[in-house]
Structure 1
Amino acid sequence: MRQKAVTLKDIAAAANVSRATAARALNSYGYVGDETAMRVLEAAEKLGYRTNRVAQALRSGQLPIVGFVPGDIQNPFFARIAHDVETELRRKHHNLLIASSEESVKQEKELLESLRALGIGGFIVAPASATDTRHIASLAREGAQFVLIDRAARAVRCDSVVVDNEGGAREAVSYLIANGHRRIGFLRDDSHIFTAQERLAGYQNALAAHGIAADDSLISVSRSAVEHAIEATIRLFSRRERPSALFTVDSLMTQGALLGLRTMGLSIPHDVSLIGFDDFNLATFTDPQITVVAQPTAEIGPLAASMLLERLAGATMPPRKVRFPTRLVIRGSVSHP
């Protein structure tokens, strides 16, 4: 009968330490006290643990791999970023390992610790939270290199590449107001991620700038998925005084809104005007085509990859904060109410 392989979890339990500590001691990265390190090594020897050859190759630079942890790889925005990052890394003889956090801080933390335990030293991350980023800061202090994309994190000193979410949302809502709309619905996700907060602020700031009182009943909240956005749209437009226009927080929400409005027999833009944040392929295949706030998606991935490779090569300049402007792409989904 084949003997079960000894795992990192077994070593950690035998040495009475966390898996992260055991990984640091076995793979020689970060800080581990001498006594603790010795306890881990003795437990590994006693249990017959064999060092991971992939981790050895990573540490020696023979197998250069970068980790990418997006919020949701099914989101077209992150799928495009992953493609562009992988293309740029391949040009520089690096490989990409992708693991989605599914917008869970707990899952993000576990993924980063597991990837770091393999010896991976560089990460491109879209943080699941703007504030709960202690795990990222801790790994950065231990020597891991990070570039944050799409979302900023206040407590982490590292490079970041984001867009002007607040400005883009403000411009979109202001365009709806300029076309005569006063009851403007907002379809947003239920998370606390950086982009959602900034886009909500842009919506609110545009209303305030034009003297329109905010109305929470015009904001519909759901998970960022097409099927949930359909339900949220139907709830919003089933009200007696429904909105004359709708602004959606991302492309998945926009697609859900389109299907929800069609289910209700509402026509765009005759019954409802629509603007979505994020351009997407179907936006130009609908009739009418959808007005969107476009991000420079094609520039984000290559820049993030390039910045990370510079850090892995030893660059020591202060953290770089890149914020791209957005662009309102006017098509045919907005008319006067």
Structure 2
Amino acid sequence: MVQKPATLKDVAALANVSRATAARALNSYGYVGDETAQKIQAAAEKLGYRGNRLAQALRSGQLPIVGCILGDIQNPFFARIAHDIEVLAREFGHNLIIGSSEEELAQEISLLASLRSLSIRGFIVAPTSEGNNAHLQGLVDENVPLVLIDRVAEGVDCDSVVVDNEGGARKAVEYLIGMGHTRIGLLQDDMRIFTSRERRSGYRSALAAAGIAADDRMVAVSQSTVEHAVDATIRLFSQKTPPTSLFTVDSLMTQGALLAFRSMGVSIPHDVSLIGFDDFNLATFTDPQITVVSQPVSEIGRTAARVLFERLTGKDEPPRKIRFETKLIVRGSVSRRGGV
């Protein structure tokens, strides 16, 4: 016959105390005399009483767990960020719960509410960047440590770790202009997203500084997936007068553009030049290798995690706004146009 697990009632009976006293001693709340507490603990050990320590710790916020909500966890950029945060969390003796908003505000709000119900100690979030940020401001108002990563959220004054998206995009487009290109295509994702807005701003400011009028026919909007980027690139370059070069706002779009050009029989850089924002593994395995705007991905996640754990250990200072610089890595995917 299987023996039933010991209950709080069993422990109280063996220690000859009330259940309330046994609960206080075993759950470390309220006052219990040392002698009585020792007697209760001995009874619990003798009976093999375990109790629901996990639930108790979750309710009290005592478990060393932090939460992380990112955009699309399938995106290599976010996958690397999650890995680096998890590594540093382990160094600080914490576990990490990761959620993916899939770039949907409703899902971000739902995930955050679910994790808040577990009394998780702090959060790292890549916000969808829509105007409704009450769920994030709620964390700030409750003094729950919050670090925004990759993006900022309007009206939410908290720690953040981002890169100079606008400056990076501007450097890429300036390089294309310097190589004689004036019909410069842009492959971007949803303008709700902070990074997409900033990278488009850098694209436009570089054109304006060179006296090149912005042309909506040179811009294609796509979801940030390889498949959607293939279709958007084909549409963009099927025009009567297509771009002579293309700037893509993330690595998945760059890969989609490469596949599209291959399917169309378009040669890089002979027929079209290409620069992508964010480096990726295949960028140096293609022929030619792809010129990219590189961001310090290995530093972004670890820096955000370090800031979070500084807050969790009591560091009290105004919100930190950390912004990393980007670097244009010139390879072989850009050719000079004639006459320059």
- Counterparts of 1:70 and 1:54, CA distance in 2: 26
SS in 1 for 2:230: helix
Equivalent position of 2:114 in the other structure: 114
Shift of 1:174: 0.3
1:55, 1:119 within 8 Å by CA — same for their partners in 2?
A: no
Q: Does 1:262 align with 2:262?
A: yes
Matched letter for residue 63 of structure 2: L
CA–CA distance in structure 2, aligned partners of residues 52 and 109 of structure 1? 29
What is the deviation of 1:62? 4.8
- Structure-2 residue corresponding to 1:331: 331
Kindly report which structure 2 residues correspond to 1:241-256, keeping only aligned pairs within 5 A, or say none: 241-256=241-256
TM-score after normalising by structure 1: 0.83
What's the counterpart of residue 237 of structure 1?
A: 237
Does the CA contact (< 8 Å) of 1:58 and 1:64 recur in 2? no
**Residue type of the alignment partner of 1:225:** T
Deviation track 1:64-90 (CA, whole Å, cap 9, x = no partner) reads 111010001111111111111111110
The aligned counterpart of 1:293 is 293
Coordinate RMSD, CA, aligned: 1.4
Partner of 2:213: 213
Please state how far the C-alpha of 1:155 moved relative to its aligned partner: 1.0
Write the mapping of 1:46-195 to structure 2, written as runs, cut at 5 A.
54-58=54-58, 60=60, 62-195=62-195
- Name the SS of the counterpart of 1:69 in structure 2: strand
Q: Which amino acid aligns with 2:212?
A: I
User: Structure 1 residue 132: deviation in Å?
Assistant: 2.2
> 1:273 maps to what in 2?
273
Alignment CA distance shift 1:101-1:54 (3 Å): farther
* Aligned-partner SS, 1:151: coil
Show structure 1 runs of 5+ residues with no match. 1-50
Task: Give the partner amino acid of 1:74.
Answer: Q
Amino-acid identity (%): 67
Contact preservation (8 Å) 2:101, 2:108: yes
- State the secondary structure of the residue aligned to 1:66: strand
Post-superposition Cα deviations, 1:178-221, rounded to whole Å, max 9, x if no partner, equal 00000000000124111000000000000000000000010001
Q: How many Å separate the matches in 1 of 2:328 and 2:161?
A: 20
Secondary structure at the aligned position of 2:256 is classed as helix
Q: In structure 1, how many angstroms separate the alpha carbons of the residues matched to 2:233 and 2:220? A: 7
Q: Which amino acid aligns with 1:299?
A: E
Contact 1:58 1:65 in 2 (8 A): no
Q: How many residues are aligned here? A: 287
Deviates further, 51-60 or 224-233: 51-60
Tell me the SS of whatever aligns to 2:100: coil
Q: Cα offset for 1:172?
A: 0.1
Q: TM-score, normalised by structure 2?
A: 0.82
- CA shift for structure 1 position 59: 5.2
Q: Distance in 1 between matches of 2:238 and 2:218?
A: 11
Letter in 1 for 2:111: L
CA contact (8 A) 1:65 1:120 kept: yes
Q: 1:145 to 1:55 in 2, by over 3 A?
A: farther
**Matches of 2:279 and 2:52, distance apart in 1:** 43
Cα distance in 2, alignment partners of residues 97 and 52 from structure 1: 20
Tell me if structure 2 keeps the 8 A contact 1:134–1:155.
no
